Amino acid sequence: MGDKLDRRKQYTRKMLKESMIEMLKEEPINGITVKALCESADINRSTFYTHYDNPHDLLLKIEDEIIADMKDYLSRYSFDQDEESKQMTKKLLDYIEDTPEMFHVLLNENGDPAFERRVMNVAHQFVMNNTNDLDESVSDYLSTYIISGSIHVIKAWIAAGRPESTEEMATLIHTFVNGGPDR
Which pLDDT tens digits describe the chain residue by residue (183 residues)?
A: 556 668 888 999 999 999 999 999 999 999 999 999 999 999 999 999 999 999 999 999 999 999 998 888 777 766 555 556 677 778 788 888 888 888 888 888 887 888 888 888 877 776 666 555 556 667 777 777 888 888 889 889 988 989 999 999 989 988 887 776 654
- C-alpha–C-alpha distance, residues 108 and 21, integer Å: 11
**Residue 134, pLDDT score:** 58
**Among candidates 67, 170, 169, 181, which has minimal Cα distance to 115?**
67
**Residue 183, pLDDT score:** 45
Is the Cβ–Cβ distance between 37 and 48 less than 8 Å? yes
**Residue 14, pLDDT score:** 93
**Residue 100, pLDDT score:** 81
- Give the domain 2-177 fold: Tetracycline Repressor; domain 2 (1.10.357)
Helix (H) or strand (E) holding 12: helix 2-24
- C-alpha–C-alpha distance, residues 157 and 164, integer Å: 8
Residues contacting 29, CB < 8 A, separation 6+: 55, 56, 59, 110, 111, 112
Whole-model pTM over 0.85: no
**Residue 107, pLDDT score:** 84
Helix (H) or strand (E) holding 59: helix 55-75
**Residue 48, pLDDT score:** 96
